[in-house]
């Protein structure tokens, strides 16, 4: 486990970059969490209701697990964007920011006077990334979208139900937010590309990042094969198979790409000379038969026995692990994929790490997730230069809000 207070382990490649995060839940916050881990100052702008993940279970005292995961290392400004004064605060921040990330429904920011043309007037060099379900243009632009909707529309659920040997009556679905996280990863890449261009030209950029586009582009082969063959092949490749069942558990193994090694591991070297498996072309044609042989062999073995056989013959494999087993695994610990964050009260918050390892060290979150409006005074006073009376007026008028009674704002 990495200790977030061990500054020697931190790499801050984006130190000096200021990001306004107007996004909520996952598709934007995961993007800005990555930017924060890389050293950017991320100001999370929330309404008085706060990001809905703040109340999501499970919790450790004040902190939500999900909110911690996607918002560690950020600052929080709570401002009512329905009010002119609240929008004016955001406009003043835009003038001092490098990047703005938002995931409102398409057109919503423009309705508030915060569309990209408005932002350009305030700061021509700003990079704005708008993450939405279906993009900023087209007949579907205004549709609401969440990860399960996008994963269904982008073919992911259908692909999962059409893996060879799947026998379910309905698509099993994909119980992780791949549409959200994939959009966030692509948004991060696009933002960094726009910042590189700005360094050379001084010009800002508006990135229209659709969750649907991101998931389609990240589909490894299935959609491409369908388009490439005019719809003749629109199911997953034969290399994708459900996990195999052993006597005491399940495991995945790349047997279709390692026929000879797998045959030797099973103690069936004669299969290598079998006409059905002696060439790559024959293997493709008869792969279902080979997989059946592996299933029959595995059903009589324990996972420990399979591990010994596959490791001896260098067959790529892995046990199907529960979430608890993943977190408790040596691989998880060796890769330092858990960060221990210390709160002001001295409590420790475990949070998944981002995967950025550099020669100079590791990118990790620098602080726990912020309380709602925790940094109001710092942002309004220090960054925007408002005096105490002006901040008090915004607070008493309900324009800014803090859940912390100790917050000066």
How far apart CA 186 and CA 22 sit, in angstroms, is 17
Helix (H), strand (E) counts: the chain: 18, 16
How far apart CA 227 and CA 206 sit, in angstroms, is 29
Listed in sequence order, the residues at least 6 apart from 38 whose beta carbon sits closer than 8 Å to its beta carbon are 11, 12, 13, 14, 356, 363
Q: Which residue has the tokens 């859940």?
A: 403
How far apart CA 95 and CA 103 sit, in angstroms, is 20
| 3-class DSSP state of 261 | helix
How far apart CA 22 and CA 119 sit, in angstroms, is 13
Bridge partners of 209?
131
Q: For residue 364, give the H/E element and its range.
A: none
Indicate which residues carry an active-site annotation. Answer: 180
Strands (E), 211-328: 244-246, 249-253, 317-319
φ, ψ of residue 315 in degrees (nearest 5) = -90, 120
Neighbours of 265 (CB within 10 A): 24
CA distance to 67, 372, 374, per residue, from 405 (Å): 21, 11, 10
The conformation of residue 9, written as its DSSP 8-state character, comes to G
Which residue from 301, 174, 284, 283 is spatially nearest to 244, judged by alpha carbons?
301
| 3-class DSSP state of 46 | strand
């Amino acid at each position: 486990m990495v200790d977030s207070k061990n500054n020697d382990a931190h790499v801050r490649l984006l130190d000096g970059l200021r990001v306004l995060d107007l996004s909520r839940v996952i598709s934007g916050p995961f993007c800005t969490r990555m930017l924060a881990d890389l050293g950017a100052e991320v100001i999370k702008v929330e309404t008085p209701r706060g990001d809905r993940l703040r109340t999501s279970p499970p919790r450790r005292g004040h902190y939500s697990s999900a909110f911690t995961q996607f918002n560690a290392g950020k600052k929080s400004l709570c401002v009512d964007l329905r009010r002119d004064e609240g929008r004016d605060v955001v406009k003043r921040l835009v003038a001092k920011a490098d990047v703005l990330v938002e995931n409102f429904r398409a057109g919503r920011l423009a309705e508030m006077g915060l569309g990209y043309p408005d932002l350009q007037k305030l700061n021509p060099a700003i990079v704005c990334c708008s993450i939405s379900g279906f993009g900023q243009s087209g007949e579907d632009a205004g549709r609401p979208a969440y990860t399960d909707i996008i994963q269904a529309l982008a073919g992911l659920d259908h692909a999962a139900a059409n893996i060879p040997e799947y026998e379910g009556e309905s698509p099993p679905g994909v119980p992780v937010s791949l549409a959200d996280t994939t959009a966030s990863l692509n948004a991060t890449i696009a933002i960094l590309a726009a910042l590189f261009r700005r360094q050379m030209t001084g010009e800002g950029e508006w990135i229209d990042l659709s969750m649907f586009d991101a998931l389609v582009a990240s589909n490894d082969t299935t959609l491409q094969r369908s388009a490439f063959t005019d719809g003749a092949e629109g199911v997953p490749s034969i290399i994708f198979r459900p996990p195999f069942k052993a006597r005491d558990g399940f495991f995945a193994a790349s047997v279709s790409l390692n026929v000879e090694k797998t045959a030797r591991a099973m103690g069936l070297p004669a299969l290598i000379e079998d006409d059905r498996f002696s060439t790559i072309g024959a293997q493709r044609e008869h792969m279902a038969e080979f997989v059946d042989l592996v299933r029959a062999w595995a059903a009589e073995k324990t996972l420990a026995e399979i591990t010994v056989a596959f490791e001896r013959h260098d067959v790529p494999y892995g046990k199907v692990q529960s979430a608890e087993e993943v977190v408790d695994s040596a691989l998880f610990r060796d890769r330092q994929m858990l960060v221990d964050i210390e709160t002001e009260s001295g409590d420790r918050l475990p949070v998944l790490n981002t995967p950025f390892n550099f020669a100079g060290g590791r990118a990790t979150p620098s602080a726990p997730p912020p309380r709602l409006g925790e940094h109001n005074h710092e942002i309004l006073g220090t960054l925007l230069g408002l005096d105490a009376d002006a901040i008090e007026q915004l607070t008493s008028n309900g324009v800014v809000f803090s859940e912390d009674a100790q917050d000066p704002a």
